[in-house]
Structure 1
Amino acid sequence: MKTRAITGLFFVIALVLATLLNAYVFVAFFSLIAVFAAREFFVICKSEETKPLFGLGLLTAGVLSVLASLYFLGLIDVKYLALVLPLFSSIFIASLFLKREKPFNDIAYTLLGICYGTIPFIFFIALGFIHGKFNPYIPLGFLIILWANDTGAYLSGRAFGKTKLFERISPNKTWEGFIGGVALAVLIALNLQQYFGSLTKMEWGSVALVIGVFGTLGDLVESMLKRSLGIKDSGQILPGHGGFLDRFDGLLIAAPLVYLLLLFI
């Protein structure tokens, strides 16, 4: 428990500093996590029947992250993002030469690792630039709301939890915890306008609802992944907390949807 608490504290400090320091640190930090998340996915999904194209998958995730980062920073035009397309094509072509019995298993898990592990972080980075120039308070607010949702779900689930939410996927999650998590997330979000500005109270509240609902579903999706693979944690890089997929499970589903929400409202 002590190791978990210390790791969690330093991890939170690192995330907050990386978000607040400047645009370059923010983009570099979360782009790196995007690549590590894809790598983690490839590692846990490797088996006799499925072998993601590790090197090519990491290269594609890395190039995609770098190109997106350069675009957000205003260093390249959007058309240069298309340079990643040959790498996606090469994942299919490379499988022709590997002589695997079920090559499309390898191709599918390679593409899924990029879609599930890397692309959500690109959308999270995009939240910092949704108004054109870099604004750290929107992604920071996202993280605070996500943590509030997790905290509220844990506390209310412990105190009142009786009705199982998805027992076959995560036996400890309850409807009472889910409602408590969303309620605390919205409560915290409504106060962020006073300190962070950037969005109206209604917009912060809407963001909290999306994070509360889809962040919880993201947690369940990652639990479903681990259960299907027969593993407890996605990695061991964070002592007491597992891997990056474990720590950012809610972000993986919620970040693209929050970006879409803010893009239209």
Structure 2
Amino acid sequence: MDLSFLLILSLPASIQYAMLGVLLLLVAGSVAERLLASRMAADAHRELRQRINSWWVMVGVIFVVLIIGRFASLVFFAVLSFLALREFFSILPVRHTDRRVILALYLMIPLHYYWIALEWYGVFIIFIPVYLFLFIPFALLMLGETKGFIRSATSYQWAVMTTVFAISHVAYLLILPGDTNPAGGPIGLVLYLLFLTQFNDVAQYLWGKTLGKRKIVPKISPNKTWAGFLGGVSTTMALGMVLAPWLTPLSWFEGLGAGLLIGVAGFVGDLTVSATKRDLGIKDTGQLIPGHGGVLDRTDSLMYTAPLFFHFVYYLKY
């Protein structure tokens, strides 16, 4: 019997059903894309097809690494942090003299994920927001260049905070004791977070397109409306409540709170990256993911939902 099939069968039933449900949604999206082909403008249809095809690849990669195990998953999220940080530096006005500092920031990524592999929560939680935050301005001072010092120090700190520290909380969910979550184990927590985060983005978009009129922050994101925000958060809360007992150690009521947290945090994360792009005068942060833009465009909501959901679950159940 194929090893991958055996690995899938070894997963809890709730995880198997969750993965099957996501695949069915992708199938439905692919079918809808084919049916809408003749009704959409060529450019709009091409973008939709690219988005769905990219979702197939992204979901496939995530499912494979989660099924293989903890080590593969940690490596995957470390690589994701590297790609996100590299993309952030590619859009920032980086000083030529800062190259050695930037190299040091890349090198600290495997070290940070090493703390996760060791299950050393005490170091994990302070390594970047304390020690690395103190290291960055000191390292820049040693270069002897003062022009642009404040902008460089703060932008590098923020880049590392969002792309490495925030995203790494998804990886740390995989390290939490599985016996505390008999329904779905560590993988259940990751699937719950990732699915609700992405679902919230889609729900807010659909509600906004359907009923949205009053804009929230038109100077930052003109497509964000109160109807989209409230409708998306409400839908995410409802889904979070339903899925919580199946994938997490949370009760249905706690799942309602998790859905609220993810809905609001995802909205703020999306807006934050939108504001960054507006400040820099760019449309997308990159072109790595066809139809979606760059890594930051796809992980903007996750940068906020991951650490907040992690601590919500950690202090409630662990």
Q: Shorter-normalised TM-score: what interval? A: 0.7 to 0.9
2-structure distance, mates of 1:126, 1:236: 28
Report which stretch shifted further, 43-52 or 121-130: 43-52
Q: How big is the shift at 1:221? A: 0.6
Output the amino acid matched with 1:260. H
Alignment of 1:10-89 (within 5 A): 10-47=57-94, 53-64=101-112, 66-72=113-119, 78=122
2:136 corresponds to: 91
2-structure distance, mates of 1:186, 1:97: 49
2:160 corresponds to: 114
Alignment of 1:136-175 (within 5 A): 136-175=187-226
1-structure distance, mates of 2:156, 2:121: 27
CA separation of 1:159/1:19 partners in 2, compared to 1, >3 Å: closer, same or farther? same
Structure 1 residue 124 and structure 2 residue 196: aligned?
Answer: no
CA separation of 1:233/1:144 partners in 2, compared to 1, >3 Å: closer, same or farther? same
Contact 1:152–1:183 (8 Å) recurs in 2: no
Report which stretch shifted further, 155-164 or 44-53: 44-53
Structure 1 residue 224 and structure 2 residue 290: aligned?
Answer: no
Contact 1:146–1:212 (8 Å) recurs in 2: yes
Output the amino acid matched with 1:26. S
Name which of 36, 40, 53 aligns with 1:6.
Answer: 53
1-structure distance, mates of 2:68, 2:124: 27
1:187 corresponds to: 238
Q: How big is the shift at 1:218? A: 0.6
Name which of 212, 219, 243 aligns with 2:263.
Answer: 212
Report which stretch shifted further, 26-35 or 13-22: 13-22
Query: What CA deviation, in whole Å up to 9, does each residue of 1:90-118 have, x standing for no partner?
Result: 53343234342233332222222111211
Q: How big is the shift at 1:259? A: 1.7
1-structure distance, mates of 2:197, 2:267: 9
CA separation of 1:79/1:246 partners in 2, compared to 1, >3 Å: closer, same or farther? closer
1-structure distance, mates of 2:217, 2:98: 30
Report which stretch shifted further, 183-192 or 90-99: 90-99
Instruction: Give the TM-score taking structure 1 as reference length.
Output: 0.87
CA separation of 1:193/1:78 partners in 2, compared to 1, >3 Å: closer, same or farther? closer
Structure 1 residue 253 and structure 2 residue 304: aligned?
Answer: yes
RMSD: 2.7
Query: What CA deviation, in whole Å up to 9, does each residue of 1:40-66 have, x standing for no partner?
Result: 1112112569957321221223422x3
The percentage of aligned residue pairs carrying the same residue is: 29
2-structure distance, mates of 1:152, 1:86: 38
Bigger radius of gyration among the two: 2
Query: What CA deviation, in whole Å up to 9, does each residue of 1:166-211 have, x standing for no partner?
Result: 1111001111011121122122222214532532212222111100
2-structure distance, mates of 1:168, 1:195: 40
Contact 2:192–2:248 (8 Å) recurs in 1: no
Report which stretch shifted further, 21-30 or 185-194: 185-194
Report which stretch shifted further, 220-229 or 86-95: 86-95
- Unmatched tracts of structure 2, length 5 or more: 1-46, 180-184
Instruction: Give the TM-score taking structure 2 as reference length.
Output: 0.73
Q: How big is the shift at 1:224? A: 0.5
2-structure distance, mates of 1:179, 1:131: 34
